[in-house]
Amino acid sequence: KDAPIQDWVKLAVNRARATGTPIVFWLDKNRAHDAELITKVNTYLPKHNTEGLEIHIMSPIEATKFSLVRIKDGLDTISVTGNVLR
Q: Tens of pLDDT along 9-26? A: 999 999 999 999 999 999
Residue 86 has pLDDT above 60, yes or no: no
Residue 35 has pLDDT above 80, yes or no: yes
pTM of the model: 0.92
Average pLDDT of every residue of the chain: 94
Q: How many CA atoms lie within 13 A of 45 on its CB side?
A: 19
Contacts of 79 (CB under 8 A, 6+ apart): 23, 24, 26, 63, 67
Domains and CATH numbers, the chain: 3-85 (3.40.1010)
